[in-house]
Chain A
Amino acid sequence: MSDSSQVTVDKEELRSLIADALELPVKEIDDHTHLVEDLEVDSLMALEIVVNLEKRYGVKMEESDFKQVTSLAQVVDLVSAKLAASS
């Protein structure tokens, strides 16, 4: 499902993207699970997630955005904001 002004992010798809990057089952990625503290995401994994986000959603991430990759909920907000800003 898409239209030319899609500004919403499919949370489940994003959950799946993050789970895949972290080699974890989808069920371990709760909306508010802290990626760094709870799931041991390091800088390289965070970068991998960001790169996958850029590719999937066609958005550009800045270094300042990286700090916001803290939980699934935060990432949904971040990507949604980027999509809205560019639409």
Chain B
Amino acid sequence: MSELVVTGLGITCPGVAKPSDAAAPRQEPSPGWFDVSCALPGRGYKRLPAACQYLLAAARNALADADAPFDGVPDERRGLVVATNNAAMELTEHQDGVILASSADEIGPLTAPFFVLSLFASRLATEHGVRGFCLTANSPRTAGLQALRLAGRALACGRADLLLVGVTEERLPESEPGSSHSDCGAAVLVCGPAASTAAETAYGDCRIGDVFLEPGGEPDPALTRAWNVVCAGAPGPVLVDAVLDDSAIGGAVASWLARRPVETRMVRAGAGCLTPMRHVVGALAGGGPERVVITAAAEGAVTMARVRPARHAGEQTISHRTMSARS
């Protein structure tokens, strides 16, 4: 089971000022909530799709938070995993509309390539000279937590020495079902292997497990097995953040949790894979007892992240962390 140690956090979400607020209830994005000129000064950002801007901004925050960790890492040893479901839905809606109404010749060139979901990660890789590898995860709802597992495995297989794990989402256009509670914003974590990470710089670690539930099957044994693997070797956290929808799969996970000796905070899941990661970020930034963030897609995938915050005295600002790391 691959483990990741987190040394930097960055978040760009409506109504979220700092990583320790990341798990606060989702706020509706108000017009102008994100100011690209402020978050990303300079050329080359204003024309990017919004979800790419959120991702770049959150990555800057995370790298600053970890005190420029890529500086000592050769570009071919830097890695990146980005999760998204809906970053390009608004754009492809528009592009398809243009084709239907007139012709492909009318599609705007600068944003055109972003119909490809993976380009959001590629743009981030180019921004920070990541040449080890760049991987996009796009499983419905579970991709954010799965990105942590993909990252941990990549580290274990020696594909990089340090990496960014990010999630970015844009609201669904109103023409798509489920738009009214869809994720919006980005979160980025700086992650490295436990062996080479200095303890005083760590926010904590994560261990991820996942399973696939068949419709109409018996969920409990599979869920319990996955839980036991993820929470192995510990008294077991009793705090759970469950990011679930009202599908049959979401309901099955909720019922299973209700029968376990855990204290569950139920969080309504909308379209996208950002909300579960927000809870991971919030848990790490806030310190406190370990917890499990669990999420499920109506399509069957269930992913659990056991988050063990290192001992921090509450939330620390960037300057505090930099000072304490150097003292």
Contact = CB atoms under 8 A, between A and B. Distances in A.
B110 interface: yes
Contact of A48 (B43, B44, B110): B110
A45 interface: yes
Interface string A39-65: 000001101100100000000000000
Interface string B93-130: 00000000000000011101100000000000000000
A79 interface: no
A22 B47 CA distance: 10
Interface residues of B, number: 9
A44 B113 contact: yes
A84 interface: no
A30 B46 CA distance: 23
A22 B44 CA distance: 8
Interface string B28-61: 0000000000000001101100000000000000
A interface, by DSSP: helix, strand, loop or mixed? helix
A51 B43 contact: no
Interface residues of A, number: 8
A44 B43 contact: no
A8 to B, nearest CB: 26
A23 interface: yes
Contact of B109 (A22, A23, A24, A51): A51
A22 B43 contact: yes
Contact of B108 (A22, A23, A51): A51
B109 A48 contact: yes
Most buried by A among B46, B109, B113: B109
B113 A24 contact: no
B109 A47 contact: yes
Contacts of B47: 23
Interface string A1-45: 000000000000000000000111000000000000000000011
A24 B46 CA distance: 12
A45 B43 contact: no
Nearest to B110: A48
A51 B112 CA distance: 13
Interface string B252-269: 000000000000000000
Nearest to A47: B109
Nearest to A49: B109
A23 B43 contact: yes
A23 B48 CA distance: 12
Contacts of B108: 48, 51
Nearest to B112: A44
Nearest to A50: B109
Nearest to B45: A23
A48 B108 CA distance: 7
B110 A45 contact: yes
Contacts of B43: 22-24
Nearest to B109: A47
Contacts of A48: 108-110
Contacts of A47: 109
Nearest to B107: A51
B110 A44 contact: yes
A82 B112 CA distance: 26
The 4 A-B pairs of least Cβ separation, nearest first, read A47-B109, A23-B43, A48-B109, A48-B110
